Chain A
Amino acid sequence: MTYFRSHILVCNDPVCTNKGSMEIMQALIDEISSKGLQDEVQVLDTPRIGNCENGPEILVYPEGLHYINLKKDQIPFLVEEQFLKGRPIPDFLAPPKKEQAQELGEPTAKEVRVVLRNCGKIDPQNIEEYIAEDGYQALAKVLSESTPDEVIDTVRRSGLRGRGGAGFPTGLKWSLTRDTVSNTKFLVCNADEGDPGAFMNRSVLEGDPHSVVEGMIIAAYAIGATQGYIYCRAEYPIAVRTLNIAIEQARAYGLLGEHIMGTDFSFDMEVRKGAGAFVCGEETALIKSIEGKRGEPRPRPPFPSVKGLFGKPTNINNVESYANVPQIILRGPEWFSSMGTEKSKGTKTFALAGDVNRTGLIEVPFGITLREIVFDVGGGIKNGHEFKAIQTGGPMGGCLPTADLDLEVDYEKLTQAGSIMGSGGMVVMDDETCMVDIARFFMDFIQDESCGKCVPCRVGTRRMLEILTRICNGEGRDGDIELLEELCVEIKQDSLCGLGQGAPNVIVSTLKNFRDEYEAHIYKKECPAKVCRALIQYEIQADKCVGCTACARNCPVDAISGEAKKPHSINPDTCIRCGICKNVCNYDAILVK
C-alpha cells in the first residue's frame, strides 16, 4: 500500500463540475505527474467541500487548506508552491470558517486532542472526510504489515488502559480473549454511557463514529472476532443514527464484511440499542442485555474474555478505548506513552459540568492537576464563588475538597484520594453546595438504579438513602454517622458489581472531607450551605426592607405580612422555604439563617 504525504480532494458536486472542477482535477493530476509527485500526492474527487458558491474548490490534506475559485492556468503555480516548496498560497485560500460542535470549543492551552481530534471538524456522515484525515490507514497498515500478536504487542506497549473507568490494560485484555480457544469470538463496544454528566462518548459517536468503527475492526483482527456489537444507550438517538450510517458506509467501502481490504479477514458489526438501564454499563449486565434478557450483572470469573456473549469469548472495551487505537497504530506506541504519568498513558476526555465558567467537553493528558482542570481549562468558578469540591467519575465517585486540587489526575491517584476515574464525568461544586444534600442526591440515583439482584446493594443503598434523607430533614440522630460508616464498609465489600461496590464512595468521601457539615446537620440542626429546607429560615431584615410588598405578593403560601412602605415579616410556621421572596427582593433584605 502506498502512503501519500498529501491528499487533494476536488469537489465533484454538480455546481462545481459546471464551473470546471473536473478539468481542474485533470490539470492537477497532469501537473503532479509532470513534477514526479504522483507517488506522494493523491488526487481524489468528493462531494461537499464547501458551499460550491466559490467553485471549483479543493481541499489539501493533511494541512486542511481550502482553496477556492481555481483556474486552470493557476494549477502549475499551485502545485509548485504547495507541493514542491510546501508553501500555502494565501491568495487562493477560502476565508476561515468556524464550525465547532456546541460543547466543544477551541481547545485551551492545556488540552491535547487525540480522541476528539476530528469532532466538529469533519462531517461524521461522510466516510471520505474521515479517510482524508488518515482514516482507515491504521487498518490498512495492520492488515498489510502486522500479525494479530504484533497488534496486541503494539497496544500493550502503548500503555493504553480501559477508558470505561476500571483502567484494565487494553493490550492484556485483548491477549486474554485471543488466547481463549473457540471457533466464535465476539467483540463488543460499550457505548452505554450512563453516568450523569458524562457525555464524552456521545460526542465521539456523533462527531467521529469511524474512529470507533476502525478501532473495533483492528481489535477484531487482533483477537480473532467475527462479529461485533456496539451497545449504545437509547437516550442517544443521534449517536445510534450516525453509527448506523458509518457502519453502512464502511461496509460499502469493503472495510466491513467478507474479505476486508481483499484479505482473508472477515468481520461485521451492528448497533444494539439499550432501553434505559444504568446498570447495563456493567459488562456482564450489558452482555445479558444484548442477549435480550434483564440486564443483571453476574459474578466474575468467568470473565467475558473466557465466557461472554452467547457463552463465547468476548472482548469488551469502551468507545474511547477503541477510538484511541487507530492513532496508536499510526503514530506508534512510543508517541502515545510519551503522554501521561508512569502508569496512566495518553489522554482522557472529561465532561466538565457544574459551577465552572466553561462547562463542556475537554481532553487532557493524564497527569494534569485538578486545579488546572478547574481553573485553567474550566475558567474557574462561576459568579465569583469559591471552589468547594469536585466529584470525579460519576455517581460512584467521591467528592474531593480543596486540599486535593493539586492531585495529578491518573487512575491510581484518584483511587488513593477516595474517588475513581470512572468514565470521565466531573462535577464542580461551589460554596453554596451542601455536601450532605449532594450525598443524598447521589444515593437517590444509585438506589433507583440498583438492579436488585444482590442484597447489600438493594437493601443497603436504600438504608443509606433513608439515613441521609433523615439528616437533611433535620431529623438526624446521634449515631447516624457511625451507622453510615458501617454500612459503607459492608456494602463495598459484599456487593456483586461496580455499582454496589462504588455506591458508598460519595458518602465515604464527604464524611472524610466534610464531616463537620454532617455534624452541623445532626447536632446543631443547621445546614451550613443553607440548602436543606428543613434546617433554614428566611427572615426579613427590617433595616433593609422598604415595604415594596414584592415578596408578600409573590409568596405562594401568604406567609409574609406587613403594611406597604413598612418592613415586612415572615411567619416561620407557614413559610415553606421556597426562596421565592429572596429571588424577587430588589433590596437584598431577605436573610437565610
Chain B
Amino acid sequence: MSNNNNGRDVIKTVNAAVGEFHAKQEELIPILMKVNQELGYIPNDALEQISEAMHIPQSRVYSVASFYHMISTKPTGRHVIKFCESAPCHVAGGKAVWDALLEELQIKPGETSPDGKWTLKTTSCLGVCAVGPVMMVDDDIYGNLKPDQVQEILERYE
C-alpha cells in the first residue's frame, strides 16, 4: 500500500503524533485526532503503524477510531461540511437549509463528492444555538443560515 495520503507520509505522520503524546496508551484518542487532522482520515496503514508503535492490538485501535464521530476511517474530501442537526437549529429552519445543501452538493450525508471536493456530515450541537441554523465548513462556522446563502458560501472554497 502506498505511504502517500494527501501528499503526506503516513508512517512519519503517525510517528510524530505518537511521539508528541509520548506513546501513552490513554492518549490514543488525541493521537488518532492528530493523525485524522493531518491525513484527513485514518488509513489502514496508519492503523497498523499506530498499533505497532503503541503496542495496542489493531482491533482496539480500530474500535476506538470507528467509535468517535470526529475520527474517520474513510477518506474525506478536501473540505468537510458539518451541518448541525440539533433541535434548536431544526426549529429555527434548519431543514430548509439542509435540503438546499443536499440539492447543491448532490450527495448524501456521510458521502464524498465524486470530484473529491466535499464531504458532507452532520454534527451534534456546536453550542452556538443562538445563531441557528448553523453549519461548519472545515473550521469556519456559519450561523443564521438561509437556504439561498448555501451556494454563495460553498463558492468561497477552492
B-contacting residues of A (Cβ < 8 Å)? Answer: 102-103, 193-199, 202, 234-237, 272-278, 289-296, 310, 351, 353-355, 359-360, 391, 395, 427, 429, 433, 438, 441-442, 445, 449, 451, 578
Contact of B91 among A199, A273, A354 (CB under 8 A): A354
- Is B20 close to A, CB under 8 A? no
* CB neighbours of B10 from chain A (8 A): none
Residues of B at under 8 Å CB distance from A?
Answer: 24-30, 32-33, 60, 63-64, 67-71, 85-92, 99, 123-130, 132, 139
B132 touches A294 (CB 8 A): no
Show 7 residue pairs from A and B whose CB-CB distance is below 8 angstroms, ordered by the A residue: A198-B125, A273-B30, A275-B71, A276-B71, A292-B24, A292-B29, A359-B129
Question: Which residues of the other chain, B, contact A441 by a CB distance below 8 angstroms?
Answer: 87, 90
CB distance from B22 to the nearest CB of A (A): 13
Q: Assuming A235-B124, A427-B87, A578-B99, what are 14 further A-B pairs, CB within 8 angstroms?
A: A103-B130, A194-B125, A195-B125, A196-B88, A235-B126, A277-B68, A291-B26, A292-B24, A292-B25, A292-B27, A293-B64, A294-B67, A445-B87, A451-B67
Q: Which residues of A sit under 8 angstroms from B130, Cβ to Cβ?
A: 102-103, 199, 353, 359-360
Chain A's nearest CB lies how many Å from the CB of B69? 3
Is B91 within 8 A of A353, CB to CB?
Answer: yes
* Cβ–Cβ contact B91 & A355, under 8 A: yes
CB distance from A475 to the nearest CB of B (A): 20
Give the interface SS of chain B, mostly helix, strand, loop or mixed. Answer: helix
Q: Give the Cβ gap from B92 to chain A, nearest Cβ, in Å.
A: 8
Tell me whether A295 and B125 are in contact (CB under 8 A).
no
**Contact for B70 among A194, A234, A391, CB less than 8 A:** A234
Residues of chain B within 8 A (CB-CB) of A292 are 24-29, 64
Q: A353–B132 contact, CB under 8 A? A: yes
- Name A444's closest neighbour in chain B (CB-CB): B85
Please indicate the chain A residues that have their CB under 8 angstroms from the CB of B25 in the complex.
292
Task: Chain B residues near A578: list those with CB within 8 A.
Answer: 99
Contacts of B127 in A (CB 8 A): 193, 198-199, 202, 235-236
Docked-complex contact B125 and A199, CB < 8 angstroms:
yes
Nearest neighbor of B136 in chain A, beta-carbon distance: A235
B56: nearest residue on chain A (CB-CB)? A292
- For B129, list chain A residues within 8 Å (CB): 196-197, 199, 351, 353, 359
The docked-state distance in angstroms from the alpha carbon of A296 to that of B71 is 16
Residue in chain A with minimal CB distance to B122: A448
- Asked if B123 and A275 make an inter-chain contact with CB atoms under 8 angstroms apart, the answer reads no
Enumerate chain B residues within 8 angstroms of A433, measured Cβ to Cβ.
91
Separation of A236 and B125 alpha carbons in the complex (Å): 10
**CA separation between A429 and B92, bound complex, in Å?**
10
Which residues on the B side are within 8 Å of A445 (C-beta)? 85-87
Assembly CA distance A235 to B26 (angstroms): 20
Top 3 nearest A-B pairs (CB, nearest first) are A196-B86, A276-B69, A275-B68
Identify which of B33, B85, B128 contacts A273 (C-beta below 8 A). Answer: B33
Residue numbers in B under 8 Å from A272 (CB-CB): 30
Could you tell me the distance between the alpha carbons of A298 and B52 in the complex, rounded to whole angstroms?
28
Contacts of B27 in A (CB 8 A): 292
Question: In the complex, A438 Cα to B28 Cα: how many Å?
Answer: 37
Name the distance in Å between B38's Cβ and chain A's nearest Cβ: 15
Q: Is the CB of A442 within 8 A of B87?
A: yes
Distance, CA A267 to CA B63, complexed state (A): 33
A278→B124 contact, CB < 8 A: yes
**Residue of B30, B91, B125 touching A235 (CB-CB under 8 A):** B125
Which residue of chain A is the closest to B27 with respect to CB atoms? Answer: A292
Docked-complex contact A353 and B124, CB < 8 angstroms: no
Partner of B87, one of A193, A234, A360, A395: A395
- Closest residue of chain A to B30 (Cβ to Cβ) is A273
B124 touches A449 (CB 8 A): yes
A590 nearest CB across to chain B (Å): 16
Check if B64 sits within 8 Å of A294, measured CB to CB: yes
Contact B32 A275 (CB under 8 A): yes
B29 touches A275 (CB 8 A): yes
**B68 neighbours in A (Cβ, 8 Å):** 274-277, 295
Contacts of B91 in A (CB 8 A): 353-355, 427, 429, 433
Do A197 and B88 touch (CB < 8 A)?
yes
B69 & A275 in contact (Cβ 8 Å cutoff): yes
A310–B86 CA distance with the chains assembled, in angstroms: 33
Closest beta carbon of chain B to A309's beta carbon, Å? 9
Query: What's the Cα separation between A479 and B41 when bound, in Å?
Result: 45
Q: Which residues of A contact B92 (CB under 8 A)?
A: 354
- Cα distance A196–B124 in the bound complex, in angstroms: 7
Contacts of B99 in A (CB 8 A): 578
Do A354 and B67 touch across chains, with their CB atoms under 8 A apart? Answer: no
The answer to whether B123 and A276 touch across the interface, beta carbons within 8 angstroms, is yes
Complex: A198 Cα to B157 Cα, angstroms: 30
Residues of chain A with a CB closer than 8 A to B24's CB? 292
Residue of A235, A310, A360, A438 contacting most chain B CB atoms (<10 Å): A235
* CA distance in complex: A543, B57 (Å): 73
> Considering the chains assembled together, what is the distance between the CA atoms of A193 and B128 in angstroms?
12
Note all chain A residues with C-beta closer than 8 A to B29: 273-275, 289, 292
Contact A295-B67, Cβ < 8 Å, known A197-B88, A235-B126, A351-B129? yes
Q: How far is the CB of A284 from chain B (nearest CB, A)?
A: 15
CB B26 to nearest CB in A, in angstroms, measures 4
- Interfacial chain A residues near B132, Cβ < 8 Å: 353
Measured in the bound complex, the distance between the Cα atoms of B129 and A427 in whole Å is 10
Expressed in whole angstroms, the Cα–Cα distance for A442 and B27 within the complex equals: 33
| Chain B nearest CB, measured from A453 CB (Å) | 11
Residues of B within 8 Å of A296, CB to CB, are 67
Kindly provide the distance from the CB of A465 to the nearest chain B CB, expressed in whole angstroms: 14
B140 to chain A, nearest CB (A): 12
Determine the chain B residues whose CB is within 8 A of the CB of A273 once the complex forms.
29-30, 33
Question: CA separation between A524 and B13, bound complex, in Å?
Answer: 60
**By the criterion CB–CB under 8 Å, are A197 and B125 in contact?**
yes
CB-CB < 8 A to B28: which residues of A? 292-293
How many whole Å from B17's CB to the nearest CB in chain A? 13
Judge whether A196 and B125 touch: CB under 8 Å.
yes
Q: How far is the CA of A290 from the CA of B127 in the complex (A)?
A: 22
A461 to chain B, nearest CB (A): 16
Is there an interface contact between B88 and A354, defined as CB atoms closer than 8 Å? yes
Q: Given the complex of chains A and B, what is the CA–CA distance between A274 and B69 in angstroms?
A: 10
Residues of chain A with a CB closer than 8 A to B30's CB: 272-273
Q: How far is the CA of A290 from the CA of B33 in the complex (A)?
A: 14
